Structure 1
């Protein structure tokens, strides 16, 4: 089996240099079948270049061929139409020229496209189809408790459109799974992605040649989807300024008050809806709507692969004498783990699975960080409300209160409000807010006429 760097090199020679399978096999000193296997598994699409002259350029024929070449460039190389097939397609529309004319036009188009692509990386402006990706830490409220959200944000500088996926951590499984979801939201794959020196993506910031070394897992992911990776220089956040600004924009416009969520999927949908509405505003520089520019840019993205890419990590684990192993800085107990060897842990972004060497699943559960939450400081908040009971009705914390307690506190009389706030503060000395909500009638008090009018009674 070839190393990931060798696989990447083969794909570059096949898809970008246009070498034959035989030439690749000879250059890499490998078997022809091996070269064929790795060269044609994925593709690196090419962009469209406008034609300038000739019979193909003055009539519609050149435009038709350019459209077909652009369509085929988004497919795997083995699925692209040959010159002869393109010529036969033209004949169906009454093309009067020869096969040689078509071949010459296609050859010029490919040469111009390659030259233009190299020139494009030297420009100061961002090429169409280029994306920037970064994490931003936000907060949300789940079941009355604070959850840290690691939002993976992808920004397209050309159109200024953005997509975001909330994740519980910034490890490799979350990073790659987040990229998959971002590609699906965008409806395609960016031609290139600019990142900083993220630990899940870069294993060595600079090698002897001055280039960043990507992790094998990211390179395998990159080969499957066909995008390029550009790594920023250390301590150079300005090199991906578009996504840096998007992180702040999303934080201040959506997370300034932590949103109430049901789960990560719910927050994903909330973010998706907000960012879709945000496209209706005008681009800050181009005097066009972001939606219009995005529709133009979206056409240049690579197509999503037909085959799904599973993101997981499989590791051999060792347990201590108590049948425990450490995962995400937490000890996990596996019943009768000492009775099995070997044991493997399969890690996904949100779950883990313990499997024996025979494939028997011993344990499946959410990863420990999925349950990591912080309590809202209700005692301090309620003490502030005691001085200004009127503020409850429009407080930013009102929506975080459990339903029964919120209705219990929001009574017209400010005197009763203060009395009930003080009662909840006393209960918080021995119980948390969730427990008070679950045993509301037991803790607050219950009378016969309270059953029909539970919130209209004034308790002493």
Structure 2
């Protein structure tokens, strides 16, 4: 009798897709965001397993792995990248499919009529998403209200959920002593 192999074999189907101008691909009637991971117009390889999609670039390097729709698992959405994309075209926010995925409070927060204010809020949301979860941001905006200044929301998020020092982008501030610390830009 033959022995079973030590490593199991996972069957998959290999296909291709082209990244659209919004940085997304369509597969299995679902949209997979690849913002910042692949350039629009480029072709990506898709390994379709029974429970997940593995997206690879032309050199077969992993770009992203997402669950199939019928598994009931949700995929992580790169909110900071999506907000950065919205910053380039703030009027496109109301037409974006990702707007529907945000909690209702955040939908109202980023669809303010004044475009200058919308840009400021999108910039702040992109920054906050690098540090805090969407649920934490939603909770603070619900607590403080839609018309609260961005600086106050940032301060309350920092006080309630911890230090903002984990941000990689910001201005240098020299405290007493010789060490240099990074703080996020004032929004």
TM-score, normalised to structure 1's length?
0.18
TM score, norm. by length of structure 2? 0.42
Which of the two has higher C-alpha Rg?
A: 1
Structure ranking higher in helix proportion: 1
